[in-house]
Amino acid sequence: MLSRVAERLYWMARYLERAENTARLLNVYSQTILDLPHGVAPAWDTLLWITASSDVYGERYQNINERNVIKFLMADLENPGSVMSSVRFARENARTSREILPHEAWELINELYVDLKANAQNSLARRTRYQLLQRVSRTTLQLTGLLEGALNHGMERRFMALGRNLERADMSSRTLDVGAGVLLRNPDNDEVGMAYEGLLWTHQLKTLHALHAYRTAVGPRVEVESVISFLVDNTAFPRALGSCMMTLHNTAEQLPRPEVPMEMVSAVSQRLHRFKTAGVDGVALHRFLDNFQNDLIRLQAVFDETWFHATH
Amino acid sequence: MPIDWRKYDSGEFYDELIASPGHPRRAGHKLAKYLSSLTDEELRERRDAASAAIHGMGITFTIYSEGDNIDRDWPFDIIPRIISNREWQKVQAGLSQRIRAINCFIQDLYNEQKIFEDDVVPADIVLGSRNFLEPCRGVTPPHGVWSNISGSDLVRDHRGRFMVLEDNLRVPSGVSYMIENREVTKRVFPELFEEQSILPVDEYPVQLYDMLTSLSPRKRKRPEVVVLTPGIYNSAYFEHAYLAQAMGVKLVEGSDLFVDDNDFVQLKAVEGPERVDVIYRRIDDIFMDPEVFREDSVVGVPGLMRAWRKGNVAIANAPGSGAADDKVVYAYVPKMIEYYLKEKALVPNVPTWLCSDDKQRAYVLEHIAEMVVKPANESGGYGILIGPQASQKMLEEYRQRIQDDPRNYIAQPTLRLSTAPVLTDHGVAPRHLDLRPFILQGATSTVTAGGLTRVALREGSLVVNSSQGGGSKDTWIVGVD
């Protein structure tokens, strides 16, 4: 298989996953702020932080407010991390790999792009935003299901799995990094912070499609330590960091020249496993996740060297 | 034409939102102002969005008379009903007081029966009730509490006073609709949540779960809790599934359980039998155990009562708690509060005449045309006579029924129930409503923030049951600063 084709499929899967994750993030956040008590302002820059786009934002907008942030993350083509851009990049990659994909896959991506182009700018209001983001979320989930059911077991599928799981690990770790205190950003208001802690962590779980799975595995009470441990060293839930690493490992194993990537993934898994959730504080959690983010960057570099841009 | 509150007049009735034409109540000020800023078109759009959301979320209910059509979309009015937080706190205290007294009564009833000895409540009306279950005698459930989950129906009279209309102590339903209504409103009016503190309602499943696990005979981190449903043909099946999912526990039917030789309740699982600790049962007492109650019950579990009596499994609500869910017993609740708690009732009863009492019956027979007559033992609004709306023939029929079986009837004055604005095809109009808050009692008690508001969608109607043309509204407990 051509390295170029492998790389395109990999990125198509990553961008689709990113579009879905971002759409869901915006939707869940928009719902969650409705439950904040009067006087506690939702921190819109939290969304910029999760998506690692504060710098780009700063170049484009002066004020951080709901309308600007939503526009930036949903509809702005100048922001490479927006839903709109993610769908566009996924479409570009799909367009140049059309011969590999089932026909409906191309159609779905294309329709989604056309829909966003026509409607994203005028769906910024809270009420209409919900519908559009849900369409994005559903279409991308539909695509994932279509590719899962219609592609041969082979390398195409494996490179997409690689991209999807790396992106998932990325989103899950960023979501965790936000933590409860940041959403409120209100240090004098500890009582409110405590009362809404459950609400905020529930929001994190919903963002990651994890609420139902968490309830089934852990119980209905959403507690900080349980949530962290559920999303870090856990191989049962597909979006938990541990599970993403396991899938990367098993997928790499079935690709040519897997030694270096596998070794690195194993090392990351080990670090997840050693992380102690009990009594964890914000500083320790942040440092841990920061390291994990660096691990993901290194993994991407190893993928590039091994499969996509190999020169030897 | 946008809404003009000056043209909205609820007449002699207390209106929840508009104090007098043009003047919204304080807690509802922002809502009223916002609604009148919308055009007809915008209002219609929001109503359609709510219908679409309800349809999409699959919020349904069942009417038994409709045969195969077992899920109808939930009828919903988009204008929320508003209660100020300060007022609500008093109601919460009153409901909590009430359920504590009722639980003391049920515990007393199945054990020492002091309240009869002390002549506060006549023994015969309770012991003669078909809801009094002899096999429950001598049992003390965990915390001494029998009715762990209840839903009292509250109404307001023409002066705005909250009163308890009835206590639902068996398997009250509606709490899932309370939570889902809020989800729908958030989608339809997200703008309104920005400027005020509206108490969230979605903590309930966690509180329910905590209360249920506190009943477990085995002290472990995650006891095996199950929701026992009669199955998909039950009108509240949507809610059974909803609560099981929200608590992360199994939804079971009677045939999924059995009682083993050591009188433990076991779950039939692919891994082999698993011992059950707590059953949140959503089936009536008499169907629970065919060995003890109705032999023909196919939704129950043979031997369940044995297991429960031995303390091997907790059941919520405890079998037999329905003995206090009777409109005659209801009439005595204020006295129970004084007797067991040495307190005065914080939320009053609706005045009630007992037909079993000769004098009271004479009054009822004479004034039947002005009164509401209810069978002591039905729920869902069935079997009720609304005097002012009934034909001569019906009045005569009920006079006869009362004389034939006086123990089974009570009567209340026709209340001038409060109203709230509902969006109709011809603009906003006042409609009557009630409120069902849900009360949990384990070691401590909690009351929901608000509850399920049920509203009669037909003009002038007083019947709010969803099975009889009622709808519902989201209920907001709003902090007024």
Give the pair of three-digit tokens for residue A175.
């979501």
Helix axis angle for A282-303 and A259-274, nearest 10°, is: 170
Cβ-defined contact of B209 to A220 (cutoff 8 Å): yes
Task: With beta carbons less than 8 A apart as the criterion, state whether A22 and A81 touch.
Answer: yes
Give the per-residue pLDDT at B369.
92
Q: Searching chain B, which residue's CA lies closest to the CA of residue A126?
A: B190
pLDDT over 90 (residue A214): yes
CB A203 within 8 A of CB A29: yes
Check CB contact under 8 Å for B247 and A216: no
B229 contact partners, CB below 8 Å, separation of at least 6: B237, B240, B241, B251, B252, B253, B282, B283
- How close B218 comes to chain A (CA, Å)? 17
Report which of residues B333 and B238 the model is more confident about: B333
Average pLDDT of the residues in B212-225: 95
Domain that holds residue A92: 3-308
* Residues A287-296 pLDDT 10s: 898 899 999 9
Listed by number, the residues of chain B in 143-202 with a beta carbon closer than 8 Å to a beta carbon of chain A are 186-188, 190-191, 193-197, 200
- Mutation site for A-interface testing, chosen from B193, B202, B203, B250 by largest number of A Cβ within 10 Å: B193
Q: Which two tokens mark B212?
A: 């249920």
Q: Which residues of A touch B193 (CB under 8 A)?
A: 33-35
Q: Taking residues B73-98, what's their average pLDDT?
A: 93
Q: A46 to chain B nearest CA, in Å?
A: 18
Split at pLDDT 50, 70, 90, the class of B71 is low
Residue partners of A212: CB distance under 8 A and separation at least 6: B245
Contact between residue B423 and residue B31 where contact means Cβ atoms under 8 Å apart: no
The whole-number average pLDDT for the span B444-449 is 94
C-alpha distance from A226 to closest chain B C-alpha (Å): 13
Could you give the angle at which helices B358-367 and B392-404 cross, rounded to 10 degrees? Answer: 170
Contact A114, A91 (CB under 8 A): no
Give the span between the Cα atoms of B330 and B410, in whole angstroms: 10
Q: What's domain B353-413's architecture?
A: 2-Layer Sandwich (3.30)
The answer to whether the Cβ–Cβ distance between A215 and B203 falls below 8 Å is: no
SS (H, E, C) chain B: CCCCHHHCCCCCCCECCEEECCEECHHHHHHHHHHHCCCHHHHHHHHHHHHHHHHHHCCEECCHHHCCCCCEECCEEEEEEEEEHHHHHHHHHHHHHHHHHHHHHHHHHHCCCHHHHCCCCCHHHHHCCCCCCHHHCCCCCHHHCCCCEEEEEEEECCCCCEEEEEEECCCCCCHHHHHHHHHHHHHHCHHHHCCCCECCCCCHHHHHHHHHHCCCCCCCCCCCEEEECCCCCCCCHHHHHHHHHHHCCEEECHHHEEECCCCCEEECCCCCCEECCEEEECCCHHHCCCCCCCCCCCCCCCCHHHHHHCCCCEEECCCCHHHHCCHHHHHCHHHHHHHHHCCCCCCCECCCEECCCHHHHHHHHHHHHHEEEEECCCCCCCCCEEHHHCCHHHHHHHHHHHHHCHHHEEEEECCCCCEEEEEECCEEEEEEEEEECEEEECCCEEECCCCEEEEECCCCCCCCCHHHCEEEEEEEEECCC
One-letter amino acid at B48 equals: D
Give tens-digit pLDDT for A62-83. Answer: 999 999 999 999 999 999 999 9
Chain A positions in Cβ-Cβ contact with residue B195 (cut-off 8 Å): 38
Q: Which tokens hold the place of B89? A: 């706190």
CB contact under 8 A, A220 and B49: no
pLDDT of B214 higher than 70: yes
Q: Which of A30, A126, A220 sits opposite B248 (nearest CB)?
A: A220
Rounded CA gap, B175 and B76, in Å?
Answer: 15
Q: CA-based angle A234:B241:B292, to the nearest 5?
A: 115
pLDDT at residue A23, as a whole number: 93
Q: Mean of the pLDDT values across residues A8-13? A: 96
Contacts of B222 in chain A (CB under 8 A): 219
Q: Which residue did the predictor score with more confidence, B298 or B32?
A: B32
* Interface subset of B 43-82, CB within 8 angstroms of A: 49
> What are the chain B neighbours of A217 within 8 Å (beta carbons)?
248
Indicate yes or no: CB of A35 within 8 angstroms of CB of B193. yes
- Across the interface, of A126, A130, A220, the residue whose CB is closest to B206 is A220
Ramachandran category for residue B174: left, alpha or beta (phi over 0 → left; psi -120 to 50 → alpha): left
Report pLDDT for A187. 46
Average pLDDT, integer, range B322-336: 91
ipTM of the complex: 0.75
Question: What pLDDT score does B195 carry?
Answer: 76
A41 touches chain B (CB under 8 A): no
Name beta bridge partners: B428: B423
Mean pLDDT of B56-66: 61
Among the listed ranges A227-236, B78-87, B289-298, which one has the minimum average pLDDT value?
B289-298
CA distance B200 to chain A (A): 6
Q: Does B248 touch chain A (CB under 8 A)?
A: yes
* HEC sequence for A209-231: CCHHHHHHHCCCCCCHHHHHHHH
Q: Say if the Cβ atoms of A34 and B479 lie within 8 Å.
A: no
Domain count, chain A: 1
Contact between B468 and B461 under an 8 Å Cβ cutoff? The reply is no
Do A220 and B205 count as a contact with CB atoms less than 8 A apart?
yes
Q: Using CA atoms in the order A210, A215, A219, A224, what is the torsion angle rounded to 10 degrees?
A: 20
* A168, A239 contact by CB (below 8 A): yes
**CB contact, 8 Å: B41 with chain A?**
no
Q: What is the mean pLDDT of residues B329-335?
A: 94
Residues A148-157, mean pLDDT to the nearest whole number = 90
Is A143's pLDDT higher than 70?
yes
CB contact under 8 A, B190 and A34: yes
Residue whose C-alpha is closest to residue A303's, from A255, A269, A267: A255
Q: Which two tokens stand for residue A88?
A: 């566009």
pLDDT(B61) > 70: no
Residue A219 CA to residue B224 CA, distance in Å, equals 11
Mutate to test the interface with B, among A34, A67, A70, A134 (most CBs of B within 10 A): A34
pLDDT band at B49 (very low <50, low <70, confident <90, very high): confident
Q: How many CB atoms lie within 10 A of CB A256?
A: 9
Arithmetic mean of pLDDT, A138-146 = 93
Of B186, B195, B247, the CB nearest to A220: B247
> Which of B61-75, B353-367, B392-406 has the least mean pLDDT?
B61-75
Are A198 and B203 within 8 A, CB to CB?
Answer: yes
Q: What is the pLDDT of residue A186?
A: 43
Phi, psi of B465 (to 5 degrees): -65, 135
- Residue A191's pLDDT band, with cuts at 50, 70 and 90, is low
What pLDDT is stored for residue B481 in this prediction?
61
For A222, nearest residue in chain B (alpha carbons): B206
CB A21 within 8 A of CB A27: no
Predicted confidence band at B182 (pLDDT cuts at 50, 70, 90)? very high
The residue to which tokens 């069978």 are assigned: B375
Q: Do A218 and B195 touch (CB under 8 A)?
A: no
Which pairing describes strands B452-456 and B225-228: parallel, antiparallel, or unpaired? Answer: unpaired
Where does the pLDDT of residue B349 fall: very low under 50, low under 70, confident under 90, or very high at 90 and above?
A: very high
Residue A126 pLDDT more than 60? yes
Of A189-198, B16-25, B82-91, B135-144, the poorest mean pLDDT is in: A189-198
> Does B282 have pLDDT greater than 80?
yes
How large a percentage of chain B has pLDDT more than 90? 66
* Pick from A33, A199, A218: CB nearest B200: A199
Q: Verify whether the Cβ–Cβ distance A127 to B188 is below 8 Å.
A: yes
**Contacts A–B by Cβ distance under 8 A:** 51
* Residue A190: per-residue pLDDT: 56
Beta-carbon separation of B193 and A31 below 8 A: no
Q: Give the residue from A22, A168, A155 showing the smallest Cα distance to A97.
A: A155
- The pLDDT of residue B350 is 94
The residue-averaged pLDDT of A248-254 equals 97
Residues B51 and B58: their CA atoms lie apart, in Å, by: 10
pLDDT (tens digit, 9 = 90+) per residue, A157-189?
Answer: 999 999 999 999 999 998 888 764 454 444 445
